[in-house]
A and B are shown apart, each in its own frame.
Chain A
Amino acid sequence: MMAEKEALFSQKNRRLLIDPLNDDNPISVQVLGICSALAITVQLKPAIVMSIAVMFVLIASNVIVSLIRNLIPGRIRIIVQLVIVAGLVIIVDLILKAYLYDVSKELSVFVGLIITNCIIMGRLEAFALGNGPWKAFLDAIGNAGGYALILIVVAFFREVLGSGKLLGYEVLGHKGKTLIDSTGLYSFGYENNGFMLLSPMALIAVGVYIWIQRSKNRKLIEA
């Protein structure tokens, strides 16, 4: 039992929520969950929906594992975590298919891939097994938020530079067959950078993010 009752949003708990956004970001600092960060950041919309789905699964699995952490036999704990995560992901997939059919089509195979998202297993193993449900809940929101932040930043630049759109809207003007038909930037001869749509550019974009983050954040500079 806890010796003294901790405030709901004590400084320690707030750190759980805020640290993963910057100092301890799962993608840019711990370099976990890179696979999905590369795959679904071509456009902003799937990135946002994926972030929400990961947040739901991470919160639910973190809290569930934390609640039964004293019951889980140590030798099969990874399998137990996997079964819980897989079960939750399938439930999310079924519910999306029944009630949010269009969103489910948008995400297609990536929903299934949440199961193998290293961030989720990483948080269950590193945090939920040793902390109470409220802390696990905050930790899940923080880490899913950190993941979402990178996904959305990368997807923003890839969609704007790669296809000249944001959430499907043509923000840089319309590209016609000739310069005269075109509007906005395209009328000056601007071309979309098709390279941004390919996976290597996602890796480079994440790399640039890490570079900027490290140059700004003193704590991350190694002595």
Chain B
Amino acid sequence: MNRNSNAYTFLFAIILVVVVAGLLAFVSEGTKEKRAMNVKLEKMQSILSTIGVDVSREECGVLFKKYVKQELALKADGSIDANIKAFDINLKHELKKPVNEQRFPLYVTEKDGKKNYVIPLYGAGLWDSIWGYMSLADDENTVIGASFDHKGETPGLGAEINQSWFEDQFKGEQIMEGSKFVSVKVVKGGTPESNKHGVDAISGGTITSDGVTKMIEERLKRYLAYFKNN
């Protein structure tokens, strides 16, 4: 067959595409369960890490059940929607809905007899989305821990938000000033220890830092109604 004929070119293209597509479909299906499991376990690991339980991904499944007492899906007015499982809420899709239809996931955990609230976060960084979890103590004010992650922030700059030096700064910060919500801000140029509502930003990662500030404020304020009622 003439290798330069149209018929041969088409035939070759069709065979190549079918073979490659088949191979991709096969690998994708074969790894689907494992990939989904990794994502799920990582979510559990992130939630546990904010309340000070640092475990490997393998152990998360069991420990998650042990520490997390309630998984709540909250409506905008702070009431609980019992029909939806909090763990299944994908904030990325949820936040595109009108506010009244959004459900906000809240994990109520118990560690050493103390009650904590873990709040999932989702927002925008410089290049792509950023997300994380923040846990509050029983007083619904003091931050116990925070963990962040990102899809594609600049390595060494914005990407540092998932490093422990950045995350650890949030411990002990407070989100309320008296009865007023002030959130925790990421401040460029640094903040003194005495400032309970601000942590140091990442030099060179200003837009990611601002994204974290905005994300925390946007997400936390949705839970104020629930905290007021409980």
Contacts and interface: CB of A to CB of B under 8 A. Distances in A.
B24 A163 contact: no
Contact of B20 (A46, A83, A197): A83
Given A97-B38, A198-B204, A75 B9 contact: yes
A84 B24 CA distance: 11
A72 interface: yes
B155 A98 contact: no
B42 A101 contact: yes
B20 A84 contact: yes
Contact of A87 (B12, B13, B24): B24
Given A91-B24, A97-B31, A194-B203, A73 B155 contact: no
B55 interface: no
A90 B24 contact: yes
B61 interface: no
A109 interface: yes
B224 to A, nearest CB: 33
A196 to B, nearest CB: 9
A212 interface: no
A141 interface: no
A30 B3 CA distance: 32
B20 A43 contact: no
Interface residues of A, number: 32
Contacts, number: 75
Interface string B123-142: 00001100000000000000
Interface residues of B, number: 30
Interface string B143-157: 000000101101111
A71 interface: yes
Contact of A99 (B17, B34, B203): B34
B23 interface: yes
**Chain B's interface: helix, strand, loop or mixed, by majority?**
helix
B27 A91 contact: yes
Contacts of A198: 204
Contacts of B31: 94-95, 97-99
Given A91-B24, A95-B27, A108-B151, A76 B203 contact: no
Nearest to A100: B38
B84 interface: no
A74 B156 contact: no
Contacts of A73: 3-4, 8-9, 12-13
Interface string A170-214: 000000000000000000000000100110000000000000000
B156 A162 contact: yes
22 contacts: A42-B155, A42-B156, A46-B155, A71-B3, A73-B8, A73-B9, A73-B13, A76-B13, A80-B13, A83-B17, A87-B20, A90-B27, A91-B23, A94-B27, A98-B31, A99-B31, A99-B34, A101-B57, A109-B151, A159-B156, A197-B156, A198-B204
Interface of B: 3-4, 8-9, 12-13, 16-17, 20, 23-24, 27-28, 31, 34-35, 38, 42, 57, 127-128, 149, 151-152, 154-157, 203-204
Q: Which 9 A-B pairs have the closest CB atoms?
A: A42-B156, A98-B31, A98-B34, A87-B20, A73-B9, A101-B38, A42-B155, A109-B152, A197-B156
